[in-house]
Amino acid sequence: MKIIEIGTLFLCFSVFFSSSFTISYAKLFTPRFPSSIIKAEQLSVSAKSNNGNKLYRAKYFTQILDHFNFNPASYQTFQHRYLINDTYWGGPEKNSPIFVYTGNEGDIEWFAQNTGFMFDIAPSFKALLVFIEHRFYGKSIPFGGNKDIAYSNATTLGYLTSTQALADYATLILDLKKNLTAVDSPVVVFGGSYGGMLAAWFRLKYPHVAIGALASSAPILNFENITSPYSFNNIITRDFRSESENCYKVIKGSWEQIDDTASQPGGLDLLRKSFKICKNYIDADALEGWLRTAFVYTAMTDYPIPTNFLNPLPAYPVKQMCKAIDDPATGNDTFAKLYGAANIYYNYTGSATCNDLADDSPDPHGLDMWVWQACTEMIMPTSGNNKESIFPESQWSYARRAEWCNDSYGIDPRPIWITTVFGGHDIYRALKRYGSNIIFFNGLRDPWSGGGVLKNISESIVAIVAEKGAHHVDLRYATSEDPKWLQDVREREVNIISNWISQYYHDLAQDNL
């Protein structure tokens, strides 16, 4: 199986080629989770602002293109989209808090709709909710909103960086607070996956703007010479192997069988029929990439409840995949077993009549330009496979990534830039000396957890680790089906955030004496 790893999208997430006060407030503010839960199924009715609008309103801010230079091009602007919900806000008079989601690599509406935790807790905190879109994604496209121009070459795409995005967020938040006459309202930032990385980095770089950050499933350590390139696939392997040794062995042995079958006369037709592939182009690499994507994303989103995040999935989808593989009705037919497993990810609703491996329709979540970020600064090794891996044995190759990026964009990646700007090496020693008020959540079922912060760094930089947790599961809407461990995670997060805000109001009161 040939895999050229250009980057794995987080939410995200495509694998290429292969979200004490002053005395008068102290008694009023006692948020406890989950006292004011908005159920997901009630959202269309319950989550309306006072003027009748639904979940959020879209607004635009005139954003500067380049925050770090003063040449003529730097003064260009673009329309930067953000979503806002003031249903629960206590208002500027009470200095009520503002909760901000630091947008990921895609359409901000998708992230807002999948970050129910913020809506669930907003009533208790009387918080204003703001979701800010990442530049070059969704509708926040520079160069007049024209993607053809914005995405055309390295000259225009050069403005797509994490540091520019963080500066966008800081500029927008400060302007919004000023316009709302809410300069003393505390801001807490939230983010999941890449958005979680941005949330953590925002707190470190702009501590005067945000008093704290919840960074969920944020692999800030998944960079050069920090996290093993085998970690990502080792965790996927562990997920499936923990459900069934037979499940693990069937998947592990399937790649050679697919290659052998494809090389035989009539083999591709047999594969097409076995996997119900639509009548379009198919080869072994395409089929293996299709299967690999299903296993990777199912491991990432191995949630304890049914979801419709990437695709409609049942609760504990890894377990369901392995049940399909272990089904006695399939006998020794490896392809029937794999087809049943892939159907869990690709066709759980049963609505598809065939599987289209050549589907080139536009990505509905607008993740297009992550490939640029994965070619510039987001060099996150994840493709290594050892002998025990569920995937064929392979090594991570920076040279292969660099070659592809140079051919595609005429650029060379900068693999040490992220750790130069934000740190990463010796983080447990360094961060406790200059950082504070960050929650790092990681679920150990999530392959990205290998690059996450898994132990406390200081009293206020806290790691919450859930053995059965998946990719930013804590940020999803609360439901009656949530296991107790997940309820406990969210309650702990709420209590920590409450303490941050309480301390902020205490300090504000002291300053005003």
Lowest mean pLDDT among 25-39, 206-220, 474-488: 25-39
52 and 138 inside one domain? yes
206 and 345 inside one domain? no
201 and 218 inside one domain? yes
What pLDDT is recorded for position 20? 28
Domain boundary among 366, 398, 415: 415
* pLDDT one-digit tens code per residue, 113-170: 999 999 999 999 999 999 999 999 999 999 999 999 999 999 999 999 999 999 999 9
Domain boundary among 374, 395, 415: 415
406 and 467 inside one domain? no
Q: Which of 17, 15, 9 is nearest to 408 (CA)?
A: 17
* pLDDT one-digit tens code per residue, 168-180: 999 999 999 999 9
What pLDDT is recorded for position 206? 98
Residues labelled catalytic: 193, 446, 471
Does the residue 485 lie in any domain? Answer: no
- CATH number, domain containing residue 127: 3.40.50.1820
210 and 252 inside one domain? no
CA atoms of 235 and 467, how far apart (whole Å): 12
Report the DSSP beta bridge partners of residue 81.
60
Contact 78, 63 (CB under 8 A): yes
Helix (H, G, I), strand (E, B) or coil at 98: strand
Does the residue 460 lie in any domain? Answer: yes
Does the residue 277 lie in any domain? Answer: yes
Cα 330 from chain centroid? 35
What pLDDT is recorded for position 472? 98
CA atoms of 258 and 330, how far apart (whole Å): 17
Residue type, 285: D
499 and 407 inside one domain? no
- CATH number, domain containing residue 304: 1.20.120.980
42 and 123 inside one domain? yes
410 and 430 inside one domain? no
* pLDDT one-digit tens code per residue, 366-388: 788 999 999 999 999 999 999 99
Non-local (6+) Cβ contacts of 507 within 8 A are none
CA atoms of 288 and 209, how far apart (whole Å): 46
Does the residue 376 lie in any domain? Answer: yes
CA atoms of 246 and 324, how far apart (whole Å): 11
349 and 200 inside one domain? no
Residue 282: band (very low, low, confident or very high) from pLDDT cuts 50, 70, 90:
confident
What pLDDT is recorded for position 250? 98
CA atoms of 422 and 163, how far apart (whole Å): 10
Neighbour-count burial of 80, counting CB atoms closer than 10 A to its CB (0-12 exposed, 13-18 middle, 19+ buried): buried
Does the residue 487 lie in any domain? Answer: no
CA atoms of 100 and 422, how far apart (whole Å): 20
Report the DSSP beta bridge partners of residue 82.
59, 132
250 and 198 inside one domain? no
203 and 240 inside one domain? no
Contact 302, 470 (CB under 8 A): yes
Domain boundary among 364, 381, 415: 415
Residue 425: band (very low, low, confident or very high) from pLDDT cuts 50, 70, 90:
very high
pLDDT over 80 (residue 34): no
Percent pLDDT > 70 in the chain is: 89
* Mean pLDDT in residue range 440-448: 98
Domain containing 354: what range?
A: 1-18+228-415
Which DSSP state fits 352? -
Does the residue 24 lie in any domain? Answer: no
pLDDT over 60 (residue 435): yes
* Mean pLDDT in residue range 44-54: 41
92 and 219 inside one domain? yes
Does the residue 26 lie in any domain? Answer: no
Number of domains the chain contains:
2
What pLDDT is recorded for position 30? 28
Does the residue 349 lie in any domain? Answer: yes
